[in-house]
Amino acid sequence: MECPTCHFNNSGDLNFCVECGNKLQIICPICCFGNSPNYKFCGKCGHDLKHLPIAVESKLGRSLKDIIKSKTAEIEKQIIVKSLDDCGGNVSKAASLLGISRKGLQLKMIKYELRKDKG
């Protein structure tokens, strides 16, 4: 992978350039895919790689507890959506993949409005 800073051609799946030490890729926290440091969104799952820093959010009047709760919910929803997609919408398989019960996944799907209405 070529370094965007010094243009050194690095081999393998390195995260930092062996010549200048700059970042070669940003690892997505959702799917662990290595992305170019210039990407705003993950090339594999679409996760926002340039989200608003917590320090800025706290200055907007949100407590650290609220920020963490909100971010955790966002990540949980993204993981559930990806698991359901990977399992072709099969709730039982997705629940097994996530290591939770089918009922637990159904409740989370209701919480995040991911269930399709029957009727």
**Confidence grade of residue 15 (pLDDT, cut at 50, 70, 90):** confident
Q: Would you list the domain boundaries of the chain?
A: 1-50, 54-111
**Structure confidence at residue 62 (pLDDT):** 64
**Structure confidence at residue 61 (pLDDT):** 60
For the domain made up of 54-111, the CATH class stated in words is: mainly alpha
| C-alpha–C-alpha distance, residues 47 and 105, integer Å | 21
Q: In angstroms, what CA-CA distances link 97 with 69, 71, 88, 103? A: 23, 22, 12, 14
Q: What percent of the chain has pLDDT over 90?
A: 35
Q: What is the overall mean pLDDT for the chain?
A: 82
